[in-house]
Chains A and B, each alone.
Chain A
């Protein structure tokens, strides 16, 4: 009996340098190692029925990656989870397996934690507040046909800011759908354009994927 299982997993540590294309190949090999009864497409070059939700930028960590697996025979969620967990590389851990609830196309937003390492986090926070309370934050975004202007201000939702000893931690919600999609690095690099703003190599972690109504994507 054919079934579809969704698997939520992390992508952390060294695994964050696996590109999206490489991740696909990595999962194909892990599925073989796990000997899952994966379904194949019909046709001359059959390929595994697996689909990833919302590609993640190279170098980002994530607590919320989703893959959908088409299975040719039913297997309990626990079984899928434990077999896959046993073969996945370090940094990729299965969080849960479940039945698909939403369509992949319903993904509309993503939430991120952004860590900006710095000497003076209070000062950086002030600068951030100043930056984000501007009326408009216009950036150029590369599209298939040249550049397009985009106002990041109206697209960004700040959920929280927190100062730590040597870092500013931002929680942001940004569009992540197929029509509008904002990479948080775009915003952070725009912030950094001010020469007074000083922080080290920023760290990004995707915390959640949300549907249109800002409910969690399952």
Chain B
């Protein structure tokens, strides 16, 4: 399959494109896409998103790195997505290798091939993409030549062990600086004619680069990890990278604007990174520390550039919690001036319940009408204290009240099930919240007339993640989850049952996520087998096939429960313990103990709880 040129890819795919859904996703040419003469660049980089175009194109990290790398004249960055099953079938039938969208060059002809790992359930897609590209799936089979260097970054890299066998290296933490450093190194070593292992040994010296083949993992008889030993002269512990001056960091002034509709089809400005809250279940809240924000002026000028250069009619803000921006009022006021002048509508996700002031609500009301979303996450105050989701009952009701007075009538609530220490009372509490919100609607004299209130309750199964205080906790088993679901349904007040819509995630998908999140290197073979059995797009419930995974676990002699539903001791070596995400293990243990006592921890701006990030960064966070 190798050696096909761009022209021949084009002539091979043209007859196929009209036979597949949304053909424009496979042909590139969008405005904002950057096509360079590949003969003239020193390093070519294929940026792979292991999901479909409509999902991958919505991802902000890809837009940032795409712009950043292409800014450098001597590098080119092209985009690659997982083909949907209809096109994959035709590609395999016609021997068309996976190709990049800008120049329609086969992925196998790139120097560096980078994946972004946003969720564990995309792992089989990575294998499938490597296979479609004609690249050996296991890193050990790739020989000594320097080309086709396979690496990954993104949040899942905080525990990359389950996929360690497939990658040449990983990038830990924020990519804006380290991606360019590693490409510079690659350019030098390519021109020197270095071998693959020479390059990897050098790359491992860059802070934030983890080369898994240079670390040897041994296991205890009970299957837990005994040691992780560096084989060469590489750091024992690899530390993640962060951007110190977040206000000045590169941000693209335009995006690739797709022809076909994608999930988030709009301009996005990143307003802050990290989170001050410390919700104990939330991995993002720990691995993205410390908290940093952009000034309102920077945000506004980036928003104005993007609106002008993309032509998008909608702007949204990206962050873990926008309302924690220290100058939220000034920022929103200025932004609304920009967007109104440009006839751009603004959408505001992830605003926290406890931060909704009347004044802010007034501003938001002007721009948003259809519904309101909150995430109380747990049904009782006690359990919310356990998970450190500092939202009180009163605040939830208050927000609903303001929302109803403001003309909203659809409320969407997000909860988790299977949280540590959870009892049936906590589950019944979910039904109770939904019920009280409905009562509140009817009591509200200013409620929208002629509209019927609708509460959607969306329930995720809690998945313990590494680098959180709950990394020691077992995940709820199938029986436990089934019991909780039944208990919830029977707890709903029959009088309001038809105004409450409950939905949950499929148990097996959450369990698999749990296995992969805290898994070790023994899982690489399981993932390989599952892919061979036909697994891909595992996060899509209509494509997920548990049978493929079940057979794979069986063949490899591995029980998923070992990873998902086992309680870990504090002194057990976790698969990612040789990776430093700047948050101390002792802090996680402290937080875990507090959780079990249902004690809350104040947010970072109120009180530093000493997680260790400030020491690692070498300055205080606020």
Contacts and interface: CB of A to CB of B under 8 A. Distances in A.
Contacts of B31: 26, 29-30, 33, 87-89
B312 A29 contact: yes
B14 A201 contact: yes
B15 A29 contact: no
A72 interface: no
B24 interface: yes
A163 interface: no
Of B27, B259, B309, the most chain A CB neighbours within 10 A belong to B259
B30 interface: yes
B29 interface: yes
A58 B311 contact: no
A28 interface: yes
Contact of B24 (A19, A29, A201): A19
B259 A26 contact: yes
Contacts of B15: 200-201
Nearest to A13: B29
A91 B10 CA distance: 15
B311 A31 contact: yes
Q: For the complex of A and B, list the 3 residue pairs with the smallest distance between their C-beta atoms, beginning with the closest.
A: A29-B311, A14-B29, A32-B311
Contacts of A30: 31, 311
A13 B10 CA distance: 10
A29 B313 contact: yes
Given A29-B311, A59-B18, 9 more contacts: A13-B29, A15-B29, A22-B24, A22-B259, A22-B260, A22-B261, A32-B342, A59-B23, A90-B29
B313 A32 contact: yes
A136 to B, nearest CB: 28
B533 interface: no
Nearest to B309: A33
30 contacts: A14-B28, A17-B24, A18-B259, A19-B24, A19-B259, A22-B259, A25-B261, A26-B257, A28-B311, A28-B313, A29-B31, A29-B257, A29-B310, A29-B311, A29-B313, A30-B31, A31-B311, A32-B307, A32-B342, A33-B31, A33-B309, A33-B310, A35-B308, A58-B23, A89-B29, A89-B31, A89-B259, A90-B29, A200-B15, A201-B14
Interface string B306-326: 011111110000000000000
Interface string A4-43: 0000000001110111001101101111110100001000
Contacts of B27: 14, 17
Nearest to A185: B18
A59 B29 contact: no
A216 B261 CA distance: 34
Given A22-B260, A26-B259, A17 B23 contact: yes
B260 A33 contact: no
Of B18, B26, B257, B311, the most chain A CB neighbours within 10 A belong to B311
A59 B17 contact: yes
Contacts of A201: 14-15
Nearest to A15: B29
Q: Size class of A's contact patch?
A: 20 to 34
Contacts of B311: 28-33, 87
Contacts of B17: 17, 59
Contacts of B259: 17-19, 22-23, 25-26, 89
B20 to A, nearest CB: 10
Nearest to B23: A17
A149 to B, nearest CB: 25
Interface string B281-313: 000000000000000000000000001111111
B377 to A, nearest CB: 35
Contacts of A59: 17-18, 23
Interface of A: 13-15, 17-19, 22-23, 25-26, 28-33, 35, 40, 58-59, 87-91, 200-201
Interface string B254-266: 0001011100000
B190 to A, nearest CB: 30
Interface residues of B, number: 25
Nearest to B15: A201
B260 to A, nearest CB: 6
A92 B308 CA distance: 20
Contacts of A31: 311
A13 B17 CA distance: 13
A193 B53 CA distance: 36
Nearest to A88: B31
A90 B309 CA distance: 16
Of B257, B261, B310, the most chain A CB neighbours within 10 A belong to B257
Contacts of A88: 31
A183 to B, nearest CB: 13
B525 to A, nearest CB: 40
Interface string B26-42: 11111100000000000
Contacts of B29: 13-15, 89-91
Contacts of A13: 29
Contacts of A87: 31, 311
Of A14, A17, A18, A58, the most chain B CB neighbours within 10 A belong to A17
A160 to B, nearest CB: 25
Interface in B425-458: none
A59 B17 CA distance: 8
Of B17, B18, B29, B343, the most chain A CB neighbours within 10 A belong to B29
Contacts of A29: 31, 257, 310-313
A200 B15 CA distance: 9
Contacts of A26: 31, 257, 259
Interface in B1-31: 14-15, 17-18, 23-24, 26-31
B30 to A, nearest CB: 6
Contacts of A14: 27-29
Contacts of A15: 29
Contacts of B14: 201
A69 to B, nearest CB: 15
A58 B14 CA distance: 12
A112 B307 CA distance: 38
A91 B313 CA distance: 23
A31 B308 CA distance: 10
A58 B25 CA distance: 13
Nearest to B344: A32
Nearest to A58: B18
B339 to A, nearest CB: 12
Nearest to B307: A32
Contacts of A25: 259, 261
A59 to B, nearest CB: 5
A19 B30 CA distance: 13
A29 B30 CA distance: 12
Nearest to B258: A22
B553 to A, nearest CB: 41
B312 A18 contact: no
A58 B311 CA distance: 24
A57 to B, nearest CB: 9
Given A30-B31, A91-B29, A18 B24 contact: yes
A15 B23 CA distance: 11
A13 B93 CA distance: 24
Nearest to A57: B18
B44 to A, nearest CB: 20
A201 B94 CA distance: 14
A201 B308 CA distance: 40
A217 to B, nearest CB: 26
Interface in B314-367: 342-343
Contacts of A200: 15
